[in-house]
Amino acid sequence: MKKQKNILVLSGGGFKGAFQVGALETLNANWQEITGLSTPMHFDKISGVSVGALNGAMMAMGHEGFENLLHLWYDLVGVNGVSEIYTSTIVEVIEKDKEASLKFRPEGIVKQLIPEFKVPFNFFKDLPIIFSKNRRVEFLQKLQHRILQEVGKSFQNFKGIADNTPLLEKLKKYLDRDKLVSEFRCGFVSLDTGEYHSVLAHEFETNDDFVKGVLASTVMPIVWTPVDRIAFKKDGKRVIARNCVDGGVKNVTPLGDIIRNMDKDDNYRIFIINCHDGKIQEDDFDNKNIAQIALRSLQEIAMGEIFNNDLSEFIKVNDLVKQNNENKAPDLFNYSWKDRMRTDRVLKAFDYVIIEPDTGVLGNPLISTSRIFKKRINHGKLKAKSIKRFPSDG
């Protein structure tokens, strides 16, 4: 008899991840009604990118992990906001008249690029500058040259507008792969090779590498500094991935990771909790700052498009396979884009639910205030309540 397994797939979305937490709370409260199971909420396999990797890693640690997840979001992020995850001298969250925005601080850029620069002025030696126009021009030209030199040197090490050390410390505290009760994989991209890595928890070389893998999956390029080095094994070979960032830049919903690694003899129910609504709201960018432009380009437009393609492809293929099965037609086989050939893996159809937000509700992924947090949590709970019971095992 085929075994019924439950799968959890979590998308990226920064602080929008509170939506996933609200949805998971509702699933937990209604687990028996939704699945027909008398046992507590449990997922056999969990996959996530970006904030989905953070939430997924903690969910994979069972009841203890779920409680820690609720503590992280409700008691820390929900109360103290973004400072529980990142700090920055360049951007800050401003809330005014119940509207929150990301404010760019130019003085923070100056501090980053020329942190210890001092004007080379000796009162007695350079006193003639005050009275000589030519000397003033010469002095200012030299000063400009020195500033540009300092900026050039500092800019090489300027890799992010925010510091995610607070998040790293929490991951070190909460994550222990020896306590995992679900199979967990996360995704990240190496900037050196451009390759997307989907890695199981036990494939990481050490628990520290596991922590780094989850951290890398949350690193939005430009916003945070890439993770320097992650060691893991793949197909029996040791891999060292360098300068790793959010897997969402190539794979916003890691559905493919899960589907490619499913046991052919089991039945699966897939729960997809997505923080992106798949639509882009119109906005005026005439006076937006560099951080807002970067987020708009990468998070909302590029990642939104990747998600649309990923999810729509899954739904389309899944429906075609179901039609094929209903007509009792011959099996359909998977096609490998990488190898440019058909494989011997038979395509199968899955029962699935997608929990996703209404358009424009969740807001900026880099912003979290107490008010916005509650809105995201409650919206996740609301959308998850619409889930109907999965078909019984056949």
> Over the range 104-142, which residues count as b (16 or more CB within 10 Å of their CB) and which as e?
bbeeebeebbbeeeeeeeeeeeeeebeeeeeeeeebeee
Q: Are 374 and 382 in contact (CB under 8 A)?
A: no
Tokens of 377: 């949590």
Tokens of 162: 């925010």
277 catalytic, yes or no? Answer: no
Residue 299 near residue 14 (C-beta atoms within 8 A): yes
Q: What sections of the chain are H helices per DSSP?
A: 18-29, 31-35, 51-59, 62-70, 78-80, 106-113, 128-131, 133-155, 165-174, 207-218, 255-260, 290-295, 303-326, 370-384
Active-site pick, 11, 88, 182, 246: 246
Name the strand (E) or helix (H) holding 243: strand 237-246
Q: Is the dihedral of CA 355, 361, 366, 369 positive or negative?
A: negative
Percentages of the chain per state (helix, strand, coil), in multiples of 5: 45, 20, 35
* CA-to-CA separations, 363 to 272, 285, 288, 299, 349, in angstroms, rounded: 20, 16, 16, 12, 34
246 is catalytic: yes
Give the whole-angstrom CA distance, residue 152 versus residue 298.
26
Name the β-bridge partners of 91. Answer: 104
Catalytic residue among 11, 44, 47, 50: 50
29-57: burial string, b at 16+ Cβ within 10 Å, e else: eebeebbeeeeebbbbbbbbbbbbbbbbb
Determine the distance from the C-alpha atom of residue 170 to the mean position of all C-alpha atoms in its chain, rounded to a whole number.
16
Joined tokens for residue 298: 């990468």
Nearest to 273 by CA among 174, 352, 215: 352
- Please identify every residue annotated as catalytic: 50, 246
